[in-house]
Copies of this chain bind each other. A is one copy, B any other.
Amino acid sequence: MTENHDPILSPQLSGPVLIIGTGLLGASIGLGLRAAGLSVYLQDISPTAEAVATDIGAGVPLSAVQARAEAGGEEFTPPSLVIVAAPPDIAGQVVASALNTYPQALVTDVASVKVQVLDQVLASGADARRYVGSHPMAGREKSGPVAARGELFQARPWIICPHEASSPNGVKMIRALAGELGSIITVLDVYEHDQTVALISHVPQAMSSLLASRLQDTPLYALGLAGQGLRDTVRIAASDANLWVQIFAANAQPVVQTLYGVREDLNRLINTLENPTGPGARLDLAQLMSEGNAGVARIPGKHGTSPTAFSRLTVLVDDTPGTLARLLADIGELEVNIEDLRLEHSTGAQVGMAEISVNPSKHDGLVKGLSERGWKVVK
């Protein structure tokens, strides 16, 4: 065996797969892999989490398999793939330990930060060639194995983060894993990854939390008037505090670099608002708004299309069972495909607004067709 020989002999995704950490992500991966017919071992420092994951069918406890082998039952087949689904701050250490314990296995992790995990693996002296980082961008508001679903990763991005020494066969194996779970694969190095998630996930989380934090002392009558704008901007402020403390700490540098820019703009805005009739004040405000316009316009829409590629209309729907279903049935009969749908309510209203995005070529016909069928179309 030469030094350049790939330490992972086969790029195939085959069992057994060991999942260390059977929370939401680990147990969901287990369910998905079991559904694909793979053998899955489970291991968690929490006996309860491991038992729940086992009960829902995410796999079998590693300890039970090993105990049976030691008792002279079936022979223990070591895992060819180890997936570390431990919290971000210990993921690197658990990966290093798995590399040492299973010297034939490819090891990946699913933490949402990647530089820190790789640094810990490299510093550990373990065989880092058999480590390839992963970041499946999926989650739920609920946590723990009881919330796990095998479909959690379907149609979600899965970022694969190989490093310089990563096994090419190992990278292929992780591609097979993400593909098996229905994810859309993107490959980035760990630095690109952490910069990317700082911008598209961690800084938005910080801004949403900073804004929501202002609502702590807001009179309730004011919050009762809140519209969709406020609700949308603070929605993610409800996220798991413990997890986010680890994420911010682990990705502090890229996040703070972006926050410097936010602080500069915020200071400019505050200075302008302190003297709103001063020279250049209107221009400063216009610049803030137009820079925001320009930034949001760069986010691609569904299927990678431009965000302005769809036309919207709003239909009034009352608050009784089946109304929305009838509306969508009518839209289906008009042979229009809905690109996006959002249901809005005002506090105290018994009437909602269904905002529907469609291909622009379908817009006018849909408005006409729905109006003819008696729907109140607002846009």
User: Within 8 Å CB of A263, what residues of B?
Assistant: 263, 266-267, 270
Q: A142-B379, A210-B269, A273-B259 are in contact. Are A199 and B224 (CB under 8 A)?
A: no
Residue from B230, B304, B319, B346 in contact with A184 in the complex, judged by beta carbons closer than 8 Å: B346
| A contact residues, range | 35 or more
User: Within 8 Å CB of A319, what residues of B?
Assistant: 337
Q: Could you say which of A12-20, A38-46, A326-334 contacts chain B?
A: A326-334
Q: A207-B207, A238-B296 are in contact. Are A215 and B199 (CB under 8 A)?
A: yes
Residue from B149, B295, B303, B328 in contact with A378 in the complex, judged by beta carbons closer than 8 Å: B149
Is the Cβ of B221 less than 8 Å from the Cβ of A200? no
User: Within 8 Å CB of A206, what residues of B?
Assistant: 269, 288
User: Within 8 Å CB of A376, what residues of B?
Assistant: 151, 154
Interface residues, chain A, with chain B CB atoms under 8 Å away: 137, 140-142, 147, 149, 151-152, 154-157, 159, 182, 184, 186, 188, 195-196, 199-201, 203-216, 218-227, 229-239, 241-242, 244-245, 248-250, 252-253, 255-256, 258-263, 265-267, 269-270, 273-274, 276-277, 281-282, 285-286, 288-300, 302-304, 312, 316, 319-322, 324-326, 328-332, 335-338, 340-343, 345-353, 376, 378-379
9 chain-A/chain-B pairs, Cβ below 8 angstroms: A196-B222, A204-B211, A212-B292, A215-B298, A218-B298, A220-B298, A244-B285, A262-B266, A325-B332
